[in-house]
Amino acid sequence: MRDLAVDVRRLTRIYGQGRTAVKALDEVNLTVERGAFVAIMGPSGSGKSTLLNIIGGLDRPTAGEVYIGDVEVTALPESQLYQIRRNQVGFVFQSFHLSPLLNTLDNVLLPALPIGIDRARRERAIELLDRVGMRSRLNRRPGELSSGEQQRVALARALIMDPHLVLADEPTGNLDSRTGAEVIRLIEELNQELGKSFLLVTHDSRIARRCHRIVYLRDGRLCSAEEAGIEDVA
């Protein structure tokens, strides 16, 4: 059994063709140990979202491989990739991506909908919402929640299928610094309590500093903090 949550090997993603082609990722190698909390930093356009999207099976690489645990996700057909995406990986986005018509509880249950929502699943959803401090807001729709509350709901949704890995793309990007710090604290606690691996993109050095490890990207390649134009915070 491999002891890695994620193993990325020589991952390359080229968008477009010919003269307009953009190399968003250029032979990136990255491993994330089980239970690790890893930050990704880099300037806008450096490939951070592309990397997360391919790891989570939302996008396909031009070349290279991604393993989630023992499974080479980049070798899977779409039908199986879908299951990995649903069962093994949780996503948290900058803009929350909650369904505006569903209340808090139903938003958290949404990833479980295709396999059926039984009582145990509902209880788990409520437990998670309790854990992120949203138990008293089960019937509210996203429009009736603050930004920080919406991201807490999104965090509970990311955990509903009990994934090994949570991918968070600038989860505090739409939050004020205090609310952002609260969400990060929560992510830290969940990382420690549940042993989930977190891979988190952030522009905030104070947040990155709290992670176990920081990796830097520039022009689709891993680099040093200095090369990424970021003051070394480690």
Q: How far is CA 215 from the centre of its chain?
A: 15
The nearest distance, CB 182 to ligand ADP, in angstroms, is: 24
Quick check: 172 binds ligand ADP (CB under 6 A)? no
3-state secondary structure 69-118: CCEEHHHCCHHHHHHHHHHCEEEEECCCCCCCCCCHHHHHHHHHHHHCCC
**How do strand 213-218 and strand 37-41 relate by DSSP bridges?**
parallel
50 binds, options Mg ion, ligand ADP, none, Cβ within 5 to 8 A by partner type: ligand ADP
Number of residues that bind ligand ADP (CB under 6 A): 12
**In the numeric block, which tokens belong to residue 43?**
């300037």
* Sheet architecture: strand order including 22-33: 22-33, 4-15, 63-68, 71-72
Quick check: 173 binds ligand ADP (CB under 6 A)? no
Which H helix or E strand runs over 128?
A: helix 119-131
Quick check: 171 binds ligand ADP (CB under 6 A)? no
Query: Which of these ranges, 40-48, 79-87, 95-103, 148-156, lies near Mg ion under the rule CB under 5 A?
Result: 40-48
Nearer to ligand ADP, 35 or 45 (CB): 45
Binds ligand ADP by CB under 6 A, chosen from 2, 10, 22, 115: 22
Quick check: 42 binds ligand ADP (CB under 6 A)? yes
Nearer to ligand ADP, 15 or 82 (CB): 15
Binds ligand ADP by CB under 6 A, chosen from 14, 33, 35, 45: 45
Query: Which of these ranges, 47-55, 71-79, 84-92, 154-162, lies near ligand ADP under the rule CB under 6 A?
Result: 47-55
Contacts of 195 (CB under 8 A, 6+ apart): 34, 35
* Sheet architecture: strand order including 221-223: 89-93, 165-169, 197-201, 37-41, 213-218, 221-223
The nearest distance, CB 95 to ligand ADP, in angstroms, is: 13
Strand partners for 113: none
**In the numeric block, which tokens belong to residue 46?**
């450096």
The nearest distance, CB 194 to ligand ADP, in angstroms, is: 26
Which H helix or E strand runs over 32?
A: strand 22-33
Quick check: 74 binds Mg ion (CB under 5 A)? no
Nearer to ligand ADP, 125 or 228 (CB): 228
Residues 52-111 that bind ligand ADP (CB under 6 A): none
Interface with Mg ion (CB under 5 A)? 48-49
Sites of contact with ligand ADP (CB under 6 A):
15-16, 22, 24, 42, 44-50
